[in-house]
A and B are shown apart, each in its own frame.
With several copies, the nearest count.
Chain A
Amino acid sequence: MSTASLGHVEAVVRITAQACVDNEKYFGELDSVVGDGDFGYSMARGFELVIQDWDGFDRADIGTFLKKIAVVITSRIGGTSGPIWGTAMLRAASTAGAVTSLEPAQIVAMLRAGIEGIKARGRSDVGDKTLLDALVPAVDTIEQQIAAGADTAATLRAAAGTARENAEATRAMQAMRGRASYTGERSIGTLDAGAVAVAVILEALADQWPDLPARS
C-alpha cells in the first residue's frame, strides 16, 4: 500500500457514503430479521447528507476533513449506528491529526483507534455478533497485506474478502449486544446487518479503487 493523500481519503469516504445510500433497502432488510429494520434508513439519511454537503467540508487537512464528516454522522444518524460509526470516525480523525498524507502504518493506527472507539461506545467486543466481527479481522488483513508489501487495490480486495467471510460467519453466532440480543438463541442463523455493511463497503472500495483517477 502506498501513501494516502487527502484525495484518497476523500475517495474512501465518498465511496462509503454512496454504498450506504445505494444499499438502503438491503441493509434495512438485514436489520428486519432480528432487529427493527431501521439500519439502512438511518445510514442512508446520514450519508446522503455527507454527499449533499460534500463540497462544503473543510479540507484543511485529513484530520479536519474526517472530523467534519464524523460530526455529520454522529449528530445526524439516529439509532445505534450514529454513535457507533460517528465515534469510530472521530477517533480515526484524531489519530490522523493535521496531516495531508498518511503512511500505511498511520492508516492502520486510525482504523485501530476507530475499532477501540466502537468497543468503548458499544461496551462490545469481537464475538458479540456486531460489525466488529467483520471489521476487526478485515483490519488485521489490511495490516498483513501492508506487511507483505501489497498495493492498495490488492489490500482492499483482501480486506473485503475477509470481511465478507466473517460477516457470513456471524450467522452461526448468538447476538450478545444490540437489539438482536433480545431474541436470544433465535438470533442464531441470521446475518448481522452491521457486519454485512462493513463487507459491502469494503467490496465497493475494492471494486472502485482501480478505476479512480490519480489524485494529488
Chain B
Amino acid sequence: MKKFVNDPQQFVPEMLKGIALANPDTLKYVPEYNLIMRIDAPRADKVSVIQGSGSGHEPAHVMIVGKGMLDAACPGDVFAAPPMDYVLETSKLLNSPKGILHIINNYTGDRMAFEMGKEMAEADGLTIGTLLVDDDVAVKDSTYTVGRRGVAGNFFVIKAVGAASEQGADLDELLRIGEKVNSVTRTMGMALTSCTPPAKGSPLFELGDDEMEMGVGIHGEPGRRREKLANANAIVDELLEAVVTDLPFSKGDDVALMVNGLGGTPISELYILYGYAHEQLAKRGINIRRNYVGEYCTSLDMAGTSITLSRLDSEIDGLLGAPAEIAIRTF
C-alpha cells in the first residue's frame, strides 16, 4: 500500500486533526464524533447545515465546512456511514433555534444513521429537516431499488443551501432550494483504477490494464459495466450522453458543469476532459455558465472522473455565485 498512513484506524482522526490545525480561526474538531464544525456555529440567526457520510471522499465533506457551506460534517470511517451517535451528538451541538438541516447522500447506511439520529434528536426537542441527494444516473431508480446514489452533485446542493442559510433562509426555504437543486443535477462517473482503503491495504477491485469501469460509485463499489479502455474524448462522450439524456438537458439550458477527479487523476487530465466536454455541450446548444474543474468528491486514490451537470435558474445561479470560505483553498 503506497499511502501516507500511520495507524489505519487513526486515518480519519489524524486527517481531521490536520484540518483543524490548518484552520484554527475558523474550524473546530471534536474528536468524540469525528466532528469538524465552524468555530462560530451554531448561530441563532442561521439554520445549521450538517452533512455526514463515509470518509474517503475528501474534500467532501469535512473540508467544505465553512462560511456559506456546511456548518459541520461528522463522517464515519473510510466508506462507512457515521454511527448514529455522531449524527445525534452533532445535531445537539449544532442546535439552532432556526433548526437543523441534515444533508444525506442516498445510501442505505447513511439514511439509517440519520433516520435514527433524527428520531432521537427530535425526541430531545430538536427541529430537523432532511435533504436527500441522489444525482447518480449510473444507478437505475425505481420503486424496487434503493434509488440513486448521491455523488459529486452534492457539492451544488450544499453550495446553494449553504449560501441561502447564510442569508438567513428558514428550514422550509432550504428544503425547497435543496430539493430543487438536487432535482436538476445529474452525475455519471467512471474509474481507470480501483482505490485502496487504508485499513484494507490493497485495491478494492482489480481492473486490467486495458479495462475501465463505467458507472462506478464513490466507495470503490464496481460500476455497472466493465469496458475496454477508451481515449479521453470517447469517455467524455459516454459520460455526457448518460447525463444529458437523463434529465434531459436541452438546447438553450444554462448549466453548471463539473469535471470532478476521483482522487488519483491529476488536474492536467481533468482539464483535457473539461475542454472536450465544454465543446461538446456547446455543440448541443447548452450554455455553460459556471464551471468546476478539480476534486470535489473523491474515492480515496482512485484514478477516474465524474461529470456533473446542474441546470441553473437565476436563483440557483445566484446561490452558486455567493461567497464562501472553506478549508480547501490555494492561498
Interface residues of A (CB under 8 A from B): 28, 32-38, 41-42, 45, 74-84, 86-87, 121-122, 176-184, 186
Asked whether, in the complex, the Cβ of B146 is within 8 Å of the Cβ of A181, the reply is: yes
A75 contacts across to B, CB distance below 8 A: 83-85, 88
Chain B residues 156 to 205 lying within 8 A of chain A, measured CB to CB, are 197, 199-200, 204-205
Interface-side segment among B73-81, B93-101, B265-273: B73-81
- B82 nearest CB neighbor, chain A only: A78
Q: Which of A37, A122, A176 contacts B79 (CB 8 A)?
A: A37
A38 contacts across to B, CB distance below 8 A: 54, 77-80, 197, 199
Asked whether, in the complex, the Cβ of B146 is within 8 Å of the Cβ of A78, the reply is: no
Taken together as a complex, chains A and B put the C-alpha atoms of A119 and B180 apart, in Å, by 31
A180 contacts across to B, CB distance below 8 A: 221
Asked whether, in the complex, the Cβ of A179 is within 8 Å of the Cβ of B116, the reply is: no
Number of B interface residues, CB 8 Å?
39
Asked whether, in the complex, the Cβ of A80 is within 8 Å of the Cβ of B112, the reply is: yes
Query: What are 8 A-B residue pairs whose CB atoms fall within 8 Å in the complex?
Result: A36-B54, A36-B220, A76-B83, A78-B83, A80-B107, A180-B221, A182-B138, A183-B222
Asked whether, in the complex, the Cβ of A82 is within 8 Å of the Cβ of B83, the reply is: yes
Asked whether, in the complex, the Cβ of B221 is within 8 Å of the Cβ of A176, the reply is: no
Asked whether, in the complex, the Cβ of A42 is within 8 Å of the Cβ of B80, the reply is: yes
Chain B residues 92 to 118 lying within 8 A of chain A, measured CB to CB, are 107-109, 112-113, 115-116
Asked whether, in the complex, the Cβ of B219 is within 8 Å of the Cβ of A41, the reply is: no
Apart from A37-B197, A83-B112: 16 A-B pairs, beta carbons within 8 A: A28-B200, A32-B200, A34-B221, A34-B222, A36-B79, A38-B199, A42-B77, A78-B109, A79-B80, A80-B112, A82-B112, A87-B116, A179-B219, A179-B221, A182-B146, A182-B217
Asked whether, in the complex, the Cβ of A77 is within 8 Å of the Cβ of B222, the reply is: no
Asked whether, in the complex, the Cβ of A84 is within 8 Å of the Cβ of B112, the reply is: yes
Of A42, A78, A182, most buried by chain B (CB within 10 Å of CB) is A78
Q: Which of A33, A76, A83 contacts B109 (CB 8 A)?
A: A83
B78 contacts across to A, CB distance below 8 A: 38, 41
Known A-B contacts A75-B85, A77-B83, A176-B144; A37 and B77 likewise in contact (beta carbons under 8 Å): no
Taken together as a complex, chains A and B put the C-alpha atoms of A36 and B140 apart, in Å, by 19
The 10 closest A-B pairs by CB, nearest first: A75-B85, A78-B76, A78-B80, A83-B112, A36-B219, A80-B109, A79-B80, A36-B79, A38-B80, A79-B109
Interface residues of B (CB under 8 A from A): 9, 54, 76-85, 88, 107-109, 112-113, 115-116, 138-140, 144-146, 149, 197, 199-200, 204-205, 217, 219-224
Asked whether, in the complex, the Cβ of B76 is within 8 Å of the Cβ of A79, the reply is: yes
Known A-B contacts A37-B204, A38-B79, A42-B80; A184 and B109 likewise in contact (beta carbons under 8 Å): no
Known A-B contacts A35-B221, A121-B112, A178-B146; A184 and B80 likewise in contact (beta carbons under 8 Å): no
Asked whether, in the complex, the Cβ of B221 is within 8 Å of the Cβ of A78, the reply is: no
Chain A nearest CB, measured from B106 CB (Å): 11
Asked whether, in the complex, the Cβ of A179 is within 8 Å of the Cβ of B108, the reply is: yes
Taken together as a complex, chains A and B put the C-alpha atoms of A82 and B76 apart, in Å, by 11
Taken together as a complex, chains A and B put the C-alpha atoms of A77 and B83 apart, in Å, by 5
Asked whether, in the complex, the Cβ of A78 is within 8 Å of the Cβ of B200, the reply is: no
Taken together as a complex, chains A and B put the C-alpha atoms of A16 and B170 apart, in Å, by 47
Query: What is the count of residue pairs linking A and B with beta-carbon distances less than 8 angstroms?
Result: 118
A81 contacts across to B, CB distance below 8 A: 109
Interface of B is mostly: loop
B139 contacts across to A, CB distance below 8 A: 182
- B299 nearest CB neighbor, chain A only: A36
Of A36, A77, A81, most buried by chain B (CB within 10 Å of CB) is A36
Known A-B contacts A36-B221, A78-B113; A41 and B77 likewise in contact (beta carbons under 8 Å): yes
Taken together as a complex, chains A and B put the C-alpha atoms of A83 and B120 apart, in Å, by 13
- B34 nearest CB neighbor, chain A only: A78
- B217 nearest CB neighbor, chain A only: A182
B217 contacts across to A, CB distance below 8 A: 36, 179, 182
Asked whether, in the complex, the Cβ of A41 is within 8 Å of the Cβ of B199, the reply is: yes
Of B81, B83, B144, most buried by chain A (CB within 10 Å of CB) is B83
Taken together as a complex, chains A and B put the C-alpha atoms of A133 and B185 apart, in Å, by 36
B82 contacts across to A, CB distance below 8 A: 78
Taken together as a complex, chains A and B put the C-alpha atoms of A43 and B302 apart, in Å, by 25
- B203 nearest CB neighbor, chain A only: A32
Asked whether, in the complex, the Cβ of A79 is within 8 Å of the Cβ of B145, the reply is: no
- A36 nearest CB neighbor, chain B only: B219
Q: Which of A79, A121, A177 contacts B81 (CB 8 A)?
A: A79
Asked whether, in the complex, the Cβ of B113 is within 8 Å of the Cβ of A83, the reply is: yes
A179 contacts across to B, CB distance below 8 A: 107-108, 217, 219, 221
Q: Which of B81, B83, B144, B204 contacts A74 (CB 8 A)?
A: B83
- A121 nearest CB neighbor, chain B only: B112
Of A37, A178, A184, most buried by chain B (CB within 10 Å of CB) is A37
Taken together as a complex, chains A and B put the C-alpha atoms of A28 and B220 apart, in Å, by 13
Chain B nearest CB, measured from A78 CB (Å): 3
